[in-house]
Amino acid sequence: MIKQGQSLWSDAWRRLKKDRIAMVCLGLVVLFTLLAVYGEVVYFYHHAKDITPAYQKINLDLAYQAPGAAHWMGTDGLGRDVMQRLVQGVRIAYKVGIITSLIAIPIGVLLGCLAGFYGGKVDDFVVWLYSTFASMPGLLFILAIAMVVPENGLLGVYLGIGLTTWVGLCRLVRGEVLKHKEQTYVQAAKALGLGSGRIMFKHILPNILHVIIVTFTLRFPAAVGTEVIMSYLGIGVQGEPSWGLMIDSARMRLWQGMWWEMTFVTLALFLLVLAFNLLGDALRDALDPRLDD
């Protein structure tokens, strides 16, 4: 009997629901997302009213407070609440993750589709392009871009990470399209008189969507990690509480016995990366129609 109204997505959701670890990770991701939205609201509220938000207020009387009732995650060396800064850090991490994905994924998908579908000279060019990009040490390249961008800060981070991380996805998409364009259903679509663009994006792309979604969930935490490293190196975020900056400043106070800032920030980073990675793995299994039970 044929089940009605069953689609790729509801199938994937049904399979994902059975995976307990994936559901825990999904919960974590939702939690982080809510925190990011909350952080953005707080940021905008203070920005619009031009007041210094609590997480930026320096109050040396409150400095070096261990986690307690007033400050659940303690305060840092300048008396700022670590938890509030951590939430702001989620906001920046999410911005980096999403905006760099918005740069990298379209480039990778578009070039990969074109290369795989048309082959020949187009393919040669795309392969040459991503080989060139891949041959440069990633972090150095990101640093170079970030330094060239006039306005030092987040824009440099976005462009630096966005423009360098499309290579892996491009390669994957190219391979998948190569595989799919030889299938009979593509031949059948051609025989119906469909144009190349429609075949590529309307017929082949949905078949390789799981590759793209999984890539997103894997590259999101990677981008966050890169931002942390860049901020730590001093060419990323300036003046805002990114996790990288927090780790950097916490590192110097560790010897004073101030363990909480370092602990909570690394814990948050660890959980975010772990949740996205595990969710990505589960999604890959759930979205592949050939793995249907």
Judged by the rule CB under 8 A, the positions of this chain that interact with other proteins are 2-6, 8, 119, 183-185, 187-195, 203, 206-207, 289, 292
Structure tokens at 7: 């689609």
Helix (H, G, I), strand (E, B) or coil at 272: helix
Burial 28-60 (b: 16+ CB within 10 A, else e): bbeebeebbeebbebbeeeeeeeeebebbeeee
Return the number of the residue (42 or 209) whose C-beta is nearest other proteins. 209
Burial 274-293 (b: 16+ CB within 10 A, else e): ebbbbbbbbbbebbeeeeee
Cβ at position 204, least distance to other proteins in Å? 9
Cβ at position 245, least distance to other proteins in Å? 44
Return the number of the residue (2 or 60) whose C-beta is nearest other proteins. 2
Return the number of the residue (33 or 187) whose C-beta is nearest other proteins. 187
The answer for residues whose C-beta is within 8 angstroms of residue 283's C-beta and 6 or more apart is 12, 16, 22, 210, 213, 214, 217
Cβ at position 211, least distance to other proteins in Å? 13
Question: Rounded CA gap, 240 and 105, in Å?
Answer: 27
Return the number of the residue (151 or 292) whose C-beta is nearest other proteins. 292
Return the number of the residue (4 or 52) whose C-beta is nearest other proteins. 4
Question: Rounded CA gap, 162 and 107, in Å?
Answer: 9
Cβ at position 194, least distance to other proteins in Å? 6
Cβ at position 3, least distance to other proteins in Å? 7
Cβ at position 29, least distance to other proteins in Å? 25
* H-state helical runs in 136-242: 138-148, 154-164, 167-181, 184-191, 196-198, 209-233
Return the number of the residue (189 or 214) whose C-beta is nearest other proteins. 189
Cβ at position 148, least distance to other proteins in Å? 41
Return the number of the residue (27 or 289) whose C-beta is nearest other proteins. 289
Cβ at position 139, least distance to other proteins in Å? 38
Return the number of the residue (34 or 188) whose C-beta is nearest other proteins. 188
Angle (CA) 167-173-175 rounded to 5° is 105
Q: Are 259 and 203 in contact (CB under 8 A)?
A: no
Question: For 262, which DSSP code?
Answer: H
The answer for residues whose C-beta is within 8 angstroms of residue 177's C-beta and 6 or more apart is 112, 113, 115, 116, 117, 200, 204, 208
